[in-house]
Structure 1
């Protein structure tokens, strides 16, 4: 690792341990399979933390340390989401960055919410944001799945902390 890379990671919003694991160690282990494996890992993670609404997607996305995400536009066949925030900006500044975990996570969340096969891809990386396109076919619904049991997303960790002090 070069000195500039070390300095960037050490002073990033996520911190050195998470950034090293995510953008250096995992790609070193997985090699050319990194994109595919992280995409499917993201889909699996979304099945473990299914959320019911677009607002909940934004909340849990941030809580999982993926950065901020917001729905930019939507129609019957696709949705465009924008990832941003300090974590995303820091990772974009690295020579090698990968957002397929987040794309897989988002694709699966939309699939669970729409009950239609959904796939996502990174369509644009800018200096401070990443665009993710989620495509789905509402005519191609999933028929062999059990109803999703969505988790209840807490909108603020401060609320849960104050609740714990009251007990």
Structure 2
């Protein structure tokens, strides 16, 4: 089994633990509600770690070892991001999508939703804010 190595403040770590939790344990524990719960969990993480710019969000993804996040399209109420994951690809990225949705909902004060599209070795996130509906 090939293991990707990550380097962070604590030193070099194996991706085995992350992969074990993300791909084996969480689906078993959360069952059919896994994607919904992880989207909510991402929103919760964003509330605990509020950021104020796209650059800070991209830095957070790198520090969290979620991967390299970059903006590929930006309009008034819509942003498209590309994520090159650091670790082996899970089947979905709802945690990251929820995180993005909540960060932009907080920054724009508009209801925001993020959709994901998993490609081969990258993920596209479309973040859309509804300017007609303010966040509560």
**TM > 0.5 fold call:** yes
Give 1:139 deviation, angstroms. 2.6
Give 1:23 deviation, angstroms. 1.4
Higher fraction of strand: 2
Q: Please tell me whether Structure 1 or Structure 2 has the larger radius of gyration of its CA atoms.
A: 1
Higher fraction of helix: 1
Q: Quick one: distance in 2 between partners of 1:44 and 1:86?
A: 22
Given the two structures, how large is their TM-score scaled by the length of structure 2? 0.87
Q: Quick one: distance in 2 between partners of 1:121 and 1:31?
A: 21
Is this contact kept in 1: 2:65–2:86, CA < 8 A? no
Residue 37 of structure 1 aligns with which residue? Answer: 37
Moved over 6 A (4+): none
Given the two structures, how large is their TM-score scaled by the length of structure 1? 0.72
SS at the partner of 1:104? helix
Is this contact kept in 2: 1:23–1:98, CA < 8 A? no
Count of residue pairs brought into register by the alignment: 128
Runs of 5+ unmatched residues, structure 2: 6-13
Runs of 5+ unmatched residues, structure 1: 1-6, 145-167
Give 1:85 deviation, angstroms. 4.2
